[in-house]
Amino acid sequence: MDSTYTDAIATHGGSLITHLGLVDDTGTELTGGGYARVATTWTTVSGGLIRPNADKVFTVPSGATVAGWRGYSASTAGTNYGGAALTEQSFATAGEYTLLQASTAIDHNNV
């Protein structure tokens, strides 16, 4: 596919996703314990690929398991545009999870 087209699609897609969130192993978004979605903007599109503008740090409640991330259109409610699985990490006590910019992306060549 032409890179001008995929870059345009990626730019528009990034404009729809304003917040990132974390989900558990059932795909349910985490709740409680200070957890909240994190606002994001996206890097300049390159070859149909966008990444968050920086690492994103989330507060994770005690007893939660982080198993994936999702892109949302709002800080609460809004549209869930999907995301990707992560290596599962369980939290026996409350803590922080850092979603790394370098390993988080949406590749619009594959959508």
CA Rg, the chain, in Å? Answer: 14
Q: pLDDT (tens digit, 9 = 90+) per residue, 37-92?
A: 999 999 999 889 999 999 999 999 999 999 999 999 999 999 999 999 999 999 99
Residue 50: give the domain boundaries: 3-107
Q: Find out whether 78 and 29 touch, Cβ atoms under 8 Å.
A: no
Domains held by the chain: number: 1
pLDDT at residue 111, rounded to an integer:
59
Residue 1: predicted pLDDT: 66
75 in the Ramachandran plot: left (φ > 0), alpha (ψ -120 to 50) or beta?
Answer: alpha
